[in-house]
Copies of this chain bind each other. A is one copy, B any other.
Amino acid sequence: MDDSLVRENIGLMPYLVAASQILGVAVLAITGTWLSQYRGGFSWDGPEQFNVHPLCMVLGMVFLCGDALLVFRVFRHETKKATKILHGVLHILALIISLVGIIAVFQYHKKKNINDMYSLHSWLGITTFTLYILQWILGFVMFFLPGVGFAYKNRFKPLHVFLGLSLLLSTIATCLLGLTEKMLDDYSKLPAEGVLVNSLGLLLVAFGLVIAYIVTREEWRRPPLPEEQALSIDFRTLTQGESPTEP
């Protein structure tokens, strides 16, 4: 019955979690620096409304969503309910902040008479955000509303985890495309702004990969608490199948 304690082998996980947070804060700091030093800073009504877009998307869809994926690993000995609530709160913040970011760019395009939705950045971004909304609704229904059977939750969970990680990675790809679009005049002279933006792109990729590594290590999954484990063993004898551990 102490199986979970015996198997608890988190090795490098704390260091990688620390690395992910350093990368995340660095990404936010560089995004803010880039937009204020080279792009005129922030406003909602002026021409700087555009700059709200990258800042909100990096904060909401990259940093907060990335951290939401980690909570089941990091708070591994808290109750499942508390951990799920934290996961939900982070995703509520991410959703609100990224909606603000999306409204900012559409309003800016309208004011400036720029076409919407022509670039690969916009196509990939809107696809990712639409799937994020779908993932949000499905996750809420399956894991927060009462009445969904344990077996259904358990079958849906691997798909929820895979989709969550995929959305983080395609969000990061979308950010890189946005950075490239903004840089294209004078890019080939590699000005200081180019170096800053390229570095930001590499850090975004590093953030995504560190989160992906932490979340895909089988042996770093949240172990069930003793009271959950009793339930899990009951369940396992019923189904002879998967054990209901956490992503």
Task: List residues of chain A with CB under 8 Å of any chain B CB.
Answer: 114-115, 118-121, 123-124, 127, 158, 162, 166, 169-170, 172-173, 176-177, 179-181, 183-184, 187-190, 194, 197-198, 201-202, 205, 209, 212-213, 216-219, 242
User: Can you identify 9 A-B contacts, CB atoms within 8 angstroms?
Assistant: A118-B194, A119-B194, A120-B179, A120-B180, A123-B198, A158-B217, A162-B216, A170-B205, A180-B180
Whether the Cβ atoms of B176 and A209 lie closer than 8 Å is no
**Cβ contact of A198, chosen from B119, B162, B166, B184, cutoff 8 A:** B119
Whether the Cβ atoms of A187 and B124 lie closer than 8 Å is no
Q: Inside 8 A of A158's CB, which chain B residues have their CB?
A: 217
Q: Which secondary structure dominates chain A's binding surface?
A: helix
A131 CB to closest chain B CB (Å) equals 10
**Cβ contact of A209, chosen from B166, B172, B219, cutoff 8 A:** B166
